[in-house]
Amino acid sequence: MDLGDGTALLTDRYELTMLQAALRSGTADRRAVFEVFARSLPNGRRYGVVAGTGRLLDAIEAFRFEAAELDFLLSNGVVDETTAQWLEKYRFSGNVWGYAEGDCYFPGSPILVVEGTFGEAVLLETLVLSVLNHDSAIASAASRMVQAAQGRPLIEMGSRRTHEHAAVAAARAAHIAGFATTSNLEAGRRYGVPTAGTSAHAFTLLHDSERHAFEAQLASLGADTTLLVDTYDVERAVRTGVELAGPSLGGVRLDSGDLGALARSVREQLDALGATGTRIVVTGDLDEYGIAALAAAPVDGYGVGTALVTGSGAPTASLVYKLVARADRPGEDAPLRPVAKRSPGKPSRGGRKTAVRRFDGHGVARAETITTGEPDPGPHDRVLQVPLVRNGEIVGREPLAAARERHARSVAELPAAAVRLSRGEPAVPTEFVDGGARP
């Protein structure tokens, strides 16, 4: 299963049929602006988190039609020879601006702006949305879990509950949102996310007794390891673990039952055994609500699987990619004019937009101002779009740590209500200001 380097066929057929028809009608070279935004936040959430930007920049760079792709397209009648020749030379040569990765967003926030010819920009639609919809959905859910954990570390361990490559991206997005570690080794290799993990129930069941299993794990991983203690009887397992490892046993993991009550009794037992530094990690179908419910329990860390990789009830961010402006004729100098469809229930605002987050004197975000004019930040405000691609050259690459730090700052700037788990309005209201069309 060679996935190869190329990303050009990770797209919808209609992007190519539109290109072909536009090449024929002479409109493919019209300058065009597409914007990515969400019409709403899912499930009454207070904010969303932009994630996937770094992955997207790599994917845009790899968006090339090589012989294998062209052969498929031609032999299946997807495109004609003229279009294939155009595709062979395809390199995205336009500009992309976007909210910096890790920043928060709200309904209508123009989190990505793609400017180029219609032909070159329309081709990126599906890939842009796939990457941003997936990664932002995961990061948005992850951020709520991080807030619910109130400083306790979170382990991402959902790889087994999602597509094997989505799992790698999910681990990356969770790390941006504040998760400490991941179980996913490829995310460690590819993105440098710290990895974690020690053992499963199968390891205990493999051995002739739980004692044998613990001995084997301690011999291999040292006393600082975390023992899984709920295969048979938790109290007996904790006793055995401390007996074998001594009071410097690193941690114990609880994966089933009433996690709050168990954590309390295990904490008492550990303390009584002198293992006062031994951590208690809990796992087992946790989501942000389950984490919050354990706030008063003596828990030292949470492992989250299914809820993380499925976006905790919102597995996609529902971002759309809309043409908002285009020229009337080909050429760099042709002015852009706003366009928008009039489909009922799906209103779009025409015109290329900029965005500014407005802050009060205490550094608290109070409004998201979106305008078709130039951004107009006050002294406390932040212009939200940054350059990502300039004339086809990637300029927005940054270390993953930068996105992670940005996210922590961005959430900290939101009004206090933002971190409530209950359904509500977006934490920051979006204001649209008509600024006229920009050239």
Residues 38-77 that bind a copy of itself (CB under 8 A): 55, 58-59, 62, 68-69, 72-73, 76
Q: What are phi and psi of 319, to 5 degrees?
A: -75, 145
Binding mask of the shown chain, residues 350 to 389, with x at each position contacting a copy of itself by CB under 8 A = ----------------------------------------
Distance CA 277, CA 255 (A): 20
Q: Is 101 in the site for a copy of itself (CB under 8 A)?
A: no
Compute and round to an integer the Cα radius of gyration of the chain: 25
Please state whether beta strands 251-254 and 279-282 pair in parallel, antiparallel, or not at all (unpaired): parallel
Decide if residue 397 touches a copy of itself (CB under 8 A).
Answer: no
Which listed residue (2, 81, 332, 333) binds a copy of itself by CB under 8 A? 2
Q: Which residues contact 48 (CB under 8 A, 6 or more apart)?
A: 38, 41, 104, 105, 106, 109, 136, 140, 317
Of 33 and 428, nearer to a copy of itself (C-beta) is 33
Binders of a copy of itself among residues 12 to 31 (CB under 8 A) are: 12-18, 20-22, 24-25, 27, 30
* Residue 294 within binding range of a copy of itself, rule CB under 8 A: no
Output 194 or 387, the one with its CB closest to a copy of itself: 194
Q: Which of residues 17 and 276 has its CB atom nearest to a copy of itself in the complex?
A: 17
Q: Which of 49, 127, 142, 308 binds a copy of itself (CB under 8 A)?
A: 127
How far is the C-alpha of 375 from the C-alpha of 379, rounded, in Å? Answer: 13
> Which of residues 199, 278, 371, 372 is near a copy of itself by CB under 8 A?
199
Residue spans of alpha helices (H) in 37-124: 53-61, 67-75, 81-88, 118-122
Identity of residue 422: S
- State in angstroms the smallest separation of the CB of 179 from a copy of itself: 14
Task: Tell me the number of residues near a copy of itself by CB under 8 A.
Answer: 112
Strand duo 393-394 + 385-390: pairing: antiparallel
DSSP code of 310? T
Q: Which is nearer to a copy of itself, 106 or 118 (CB)?
A: 118
Residue 201 binds a copy of itself, judged by CB under 8 A: yes
Whose CA is closest to 320, among 88, 109, 24?
A: 109
Q: Please state the closest distance from residue 381 (CB atom) to a copy of itself, in A.
A: 32
Q: Which of residues 304-343 bind a copy of itself (CB under 8 A)?
A: 306, 309-311, 315-316, 318, 321-323, 326, 328, 339-343
Rounded Cα distance, 399 and 404, in Å? 9
Handedness of CA 171, 175, 179, 180 (dihedral sign): positive
**Least distance to a copy of itself, CB of residue 192, Å:** 10
User: β-strand 154-156 against 181-182: which pairing, if any?
Assistant: parallel
Residue 176 is a binding residue for a copy of itself (CB under 8 A): no
Instruction: Please identify, using beta-carbon distances, which residue of 249 and 427 lies nearer to a copy of itself.
Output: 249
Rounded to a whole number of angstroms, the minimum distance from the CB of residue 359 to a copy of itself is 33
Instruction: Please state, in angstroms and rounded to a whole number, the distance separating the CA atoms of residues 116 and 22.
Output: 14
Residue 15, both tokens? 């992007």
When binding is defined by CB under 8 A, the residue of 118, 179, 302, 359 that contacts a copy of itself is 118
Contact window for a copy of itself (CB under 8 A) among 93-101, 133-141, 375-383, 412-420: 133-141
How many angstroms separate the CA atoms of 67 and 161, rounded? 35
As a whole number of angstroms, the distance between CA 281 and CA 259 comes to 10
Site for a copy of itself in 209-268 (CB under 8 A): 212, 215-217, 219-221, 230-233, 255-257
